[in-house]
Amino acid sequence: MILLVGPAGAGKSTFAAANFEPSQVLSSDYARQLVSDDASDQTASSQAFAILRFIVARRLPRGRLTVIDATNVRPRDRRPFLQLASRFSRPAVALVFDVPLLVCLERNRLRPGRLVEEDAVRRQWTDLQESMPGLAAEGFQEVRFV
């Protein structure tokens, strides 16, 4: 299982689309869209992540590569997925998108469709910076920086 870790605008979805099969990538934005017809509807997040966890729990026992495309910038965001990897004895890898804040903000402004509020991008970036030093201790078999 691979967790993409980084703020909005860091390039996670672009990287996922270029490097993995669509069936391997579980997107929190897409799950929100399934629940509410709006990928940016944060009120649908708990249901969207329940869907992601449900699918992860079906893919990991089959040994299927599973990529979680979400910000995953806080330990509490990553923990449920790490618990699933542990439960099914599968390795968990963090791919960290440690991109400068100004780059994230600019990419976010230029993204077609869904725009994330600038304050949210700044908060995600700060959360990532604060949690990066402890990533390896969370239970990942590998932490890579993209």
Give a yes or no: residue 104 inside a domain: yes
User: What pTM was computed for the model?
Assistant: 0.94
Whether 33 is covered by a domain: the verdict is: no
Residue 56 lies in a domain: no
Tell whether 6 is covered by a domain: yes
Within-domain flag for 34: no
pLDDT of amino acid 51: 97
- For residues 26 and 106, what is the distance between their CA atoms, to the nearest angstrom? 25
Is the model more confident about 3 or about 114?
3
Domain for residue 51, yes or no? no
Q: What is the pLDDT of residues 13-23, one digit of tens each?
A: 999 999 999 99
pLDDT at 112: 78
* Structural domain range at position 68: 2-24+64-145
Residue 31: inside a domain, yes or no? no
Give me the CATH number covering residue 74. Answer: 3.40.50.300
- pLDDT tens digits, 94-133: 999 999 999 999 999 998 777 889 999 999 999 999 999 9
Contacts of 18 (CB under 8 A, 6+ apart): none
- Residue 12, pLDDT above cutoff 90: yes
30 in a domain, yes or no?
no
Q: List, for residues 35-58, the tens digit of each pLDDT value.
A: 998 887 788 898 999 999 999 999
CA distances from 115 to 31, 65, 100, 105, 122 (A): 17, 29, 18, 10, 13
Number of domains in the chain: 1
